[in-house]
Structure 1
Amino acid sequence: MTEENNKLWLESWQHAEVSLKKIKQDELCNYDYEAHLPAINGMLQWAFDNRTIRMTSGLIEQQKFFMKMRKKQMMNPLFDAAMEIQNFMQKRKWTFCFIGGLAVIRWGEIRMTQDIDLCLLSGFGKEEKYIEEILKSFTPRISDALNFALVNRIMLLYSSNGAAVDLSFGGLPFERQMIDRASLFRYSPNCEVMTCSAEDLIVLKAFADRFKDWADIEGILMRQKNRLDFGYVFEQLTPLCELKESSEIVDKLHRLIQ
Structure 2
Amino acid sequence: MTELADKIVAIDAALDARHVPHAFGGALALAFHTAEPRGTRDIDVNLFCGPDDAATTFAALPPEVVSSPKDARAVARDGQVRLFWDDTPVDLFFSTGAFHDHVATGTRRVPFAGTTIPILGATDLVVFKAFFDRTKDWADIEAMLEVGTPDAHEALGWLVELLGPTDHRVDRLRALMRTPPTP
How would you bin the TM-score normalised by the shorter chain? 0.7 to 0.9
Give 1:120's aligned amino acid: L
2:84 is equivalent to residue 158 of structure 1: yes
Is there any run of 5+ residues in structure 2 with no aligned partner, and where? Answer: 179-183
Q: Is the 8 A contact 2:126 2:155 kept in 1?
A: yes
Identity of aligned residues (%): 27
Alignment of 1:85-164 (within 5 A): 85-108=11-34, 109-123=36-50, 126-131=52-57, 133-134=59-60, 137-140=63-66, 144-159=70-85, 163-164=88-89
Residue 235 of structure 1 is aligned with which of 141, 157, 168? 157
Give 2:131's aligned amino acid: F
| Aligned CA distance change for structure 1 residues 144 and 136 (closer, same or farther; 3 Å) | farther
CA distance in 2, matches of 1:254, 1:146: 37
2:99 is equivalent to residue 174 of structure 1: yes
Where is the helix percentage greater, Structure 1 or Structure 2? 1
**Alpha-carbon deviation of 1:162?**
5.2
CA distance in 2, matches of 1:182, 1:135: 20
2:135 is equivalent to residue 208 of structure 1: no
Residue 192 of structure 1 is aligned with which of 100, 108, 116? 116
Find the structure with the greater CA-based Rg.
1
SS for the counterpart of 1:228 is coil
TM-score scaled by structure 2?
0.83
Q: Is the 8 A contact 1:141 1:156 kept in 2?
A: no
Q: Deviations over 1:65-124 (max 9, x none)?
A: xxxxxxxxxx22222111111111111212111111101111123112011001112235
Q: How many residues align structurally?
A: 177
Give the match for residue 29 of structure 1.
none
TM-score scaled by structure 1?
0.61
Give 1:236's aligned amino acid: W
Residue 256 of structure 1 is aligned with which of 164, 168, 176? 176
Is there any run of 5+ residues in structure 1 with no aligned partner, and where? Answer: 1-74
Output the aligned Cα RMSD: 2.5
